[in-house]
């Protein structure tokens, strides 16, 4: 937990700088592919994901260590070759896990967040799941386990393999010559994120593209078919916590509403998008039929509200960096209380970005929770030792935030009637 937190203290600023650099480059080239509200939603999603990971809120049914102990035919020492084998094994596993997430209803909920942006940029690479609490696909690491690749090697290569998937989420890099035949490039991954019929469910590779060519899921990016991004059932929210569980909620409702017991059971394991015929007829859901003619989700935010959202995000970054840098001193159960506050913060300000008329209620809940932490403990998890009067500053912000949000709800005319307005904003 503490080691991963320290890694993130280096990785997170690097990712943020690269996201902002891409936005600046888009401005410079008059082709901004990183709308501010979309960027804030994506970055907030990334924060919820790493917070969940640091807290260790998931378990593996079969651990890699168990596999090595029970199936290894030999054991190899850590060397450059061992690390290479581990990297390829992780990529092979990643291909199949990725493909299964796309092809079966029950697993799509773990992946919908990554595809939920209707843009394609470095920020959307950080849209990662918090809804996967049980990992069941360690079995795809069998090739490495057979060779006896040490558990610590897999643990070290894992973050490298994950972070190496960041760079190709961009529209600014076109074709890359001979590399197109070996690794996943931006052109390949634009295809993967597209909802054009010809591009759907293609290019599952994470680092190496040859898996797709071996297993028949490869699709070249076509010059005459510009990619349109998102999901065919649009999420219509900036709230990453809602997005993480909306497909699961739909499955639960569909299973409840289905008249046949057979449908109640098989809906979970049918191909992605399948719904019982009677449920689909009585309870239709919005679906994009013409990918070239639909309105992107983007409620109109005033410059003041956009600036307030940016401020709330910067406060979130402060909270997260302080938590990751002080995991050991915060300890348990404090670290889990802190994590819950992080999630509540994300939920509150993204609800305001959605212009949800109940956003002020969530802001009050967040502020009461934060103030209660300080009043009960007398400090913000030891912040006063690092920043004199730090807790007083946080208390002041928490006390004023609900007033500001309530004012925005009134001044912006946020109501049920207009919360679904969709006007683009950069």
Do the domain assignments include residue 184? Answer: yes
Cα 128–chain centre separation = 2
Tokens of 399: 């006390």
Query: In 3D, which of 199, 194, 196 has the Cα closest to residue 169?
Result: 194
Do the domain assignments include residue 225? Answer: no
pTM: 0.92
Do the domain assignments include residue 389? Answer: yes
Do the domain assignments include residue 147? Answer: yes
215, 250, 285: which is the final residue of a domain?
215
Domain match, 75 and 210 both: yes
Tokens of 362: 């969530």
Q: What domain range is 357 assigned to? A: 303-411
Look at residue 143 and tell me whether its pLDDT is greater than 50: yes
Look at residue 422 and tell me whether its pLDDT is greater than 50: no
Do the domain assignments include residue 286? Answer: no
Domain match, 190 and 70 both: yes
189, 215, 241: which is the final residue of a domain?
215
Do the domain assignments include residue 251? Answer: no
Percentage helix, strand, coil, to 5, in the chain?
60, 0, 40
Lowest pLDDT segment from 49-58, 233-242, 262-271: 49-58
Concatenated DSSP letters of 155-221: HHHHHHHHHTTSTT--SS----GGGGGTB--HHHHHHHHB-STTTTT----SSBTHHHHHHT---PP
Q: How would residue 425 be classed by pLDDT, with cut points 50, 70 and 90?
A: very low
200, 215, 230: which is the final residue of a domain?
215
H or E element in which residue 412 lies = none
Domain match, 86 and 198 both: yes
Do the domain assignments include residue 81? Answer: yes
Q: How would residue 426 be classed by pLDDT, with cut points 50, 70 and 90?
A: very low
Look at residue 418 and tell me whether its pLDDT is greater than 50: no
Contacts of 187 (CB under 8 A, 6+ apart): 173, 174, 175, 176, 180, 220, 221
In this prediction, residues 122-137 reach a mean pLDDT of 90
Number of domains in the chain: 2
- Per the model's pLDDT, the better-predicted residue between 300 and 95 turns out to be 95
The per-residue pLDDT for range 282-328, each reduced to its tens digit, is 999 999 999 999 999 999 899 999 999 999 999 999 999 999 999 99
């Amino acid at each position: 937990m503490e080691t991963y937190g320290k890694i993130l203290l280096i990785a997170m600023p690097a990712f943020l700088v690269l996201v902002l650099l891409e936005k600046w480059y888009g401005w410079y080239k008059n082709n901004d592919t990183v709308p501010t509200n979309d960027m804030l939603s994506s970055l907030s999603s990334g924060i919820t994901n790493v917070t969940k990971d640091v807290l260790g809120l998931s378990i593996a049914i079969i651990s890699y260590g168990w596999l090595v102990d029970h199936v290894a035919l030999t054991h190899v020492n850590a060397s450059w070759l061992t690390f290479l084998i581990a990297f390829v094994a992780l990529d092979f596993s990643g291909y199949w896990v990725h493909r299964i997430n796309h092809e079966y209803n029950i697993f799509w909920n773990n992946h919908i967040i990554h595809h939920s942006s209707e843009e394609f940029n470095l920020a959307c690479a950080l849209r990662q799941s918090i809804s996967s609490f049980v990992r069941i696909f360690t079995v795809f690491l069998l090739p490495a386990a057979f060779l006896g690749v040490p558990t610590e090697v897999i643990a070290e290569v894992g973050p490298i393999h994950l972070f190496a998937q960041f760079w190709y989420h961009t529209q600014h890099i076109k074709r890359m010559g001979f590399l197109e035949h070996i690794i996943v490039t931006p052109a390949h991954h634009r295809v993967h994120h597209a909802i054009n019929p010809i591009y759907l469910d293609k290019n599952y590779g994470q680092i190496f593209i040859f898996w797709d060519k071996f297993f028949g899921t490869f699709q070249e990016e076509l010059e005459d078919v510009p990619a349109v991004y998102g999901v065919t059932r649009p999420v219509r929210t900036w709230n990453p916590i809602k997005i993480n569980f909306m497909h699961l909620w739909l499955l639960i409702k569909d299973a409840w509403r289905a008249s046949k017991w057979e449908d109640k059971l098989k809906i979970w394991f049918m191909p992605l998008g399948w719904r019982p015929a009677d449920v689909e007829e009585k309870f239709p859901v919005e679906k994009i039929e013409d990918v070239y003619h639909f309105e992107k989700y983007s409620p109109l935010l005033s410059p003041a509200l956009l600036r307030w959202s940016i401020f709330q995000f910067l406060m979130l970054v402060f909270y997260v960096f302080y938590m990751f840098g002080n995991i050991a001193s915060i300890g348990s159960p404090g670290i889990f209380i802190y994590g819950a506050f992080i999630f509540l913060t994300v939920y509150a300000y993204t609800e305001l970005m959605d212009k949800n008329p109940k956003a002020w209620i969530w802001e009050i809940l967040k502020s009461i929770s934060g103030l209660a932490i300080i009043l009960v403990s007398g400090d913000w998890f030891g912040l006063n030792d690092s920043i004199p009067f730090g807790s007083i500053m946080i208390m002041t912000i928490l006390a004023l935030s609900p007033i500001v949000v309530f004012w925005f709800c009134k001044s912006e005319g946020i109501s049920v009637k207009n919360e679904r307005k969709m006007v683009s904003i950069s």
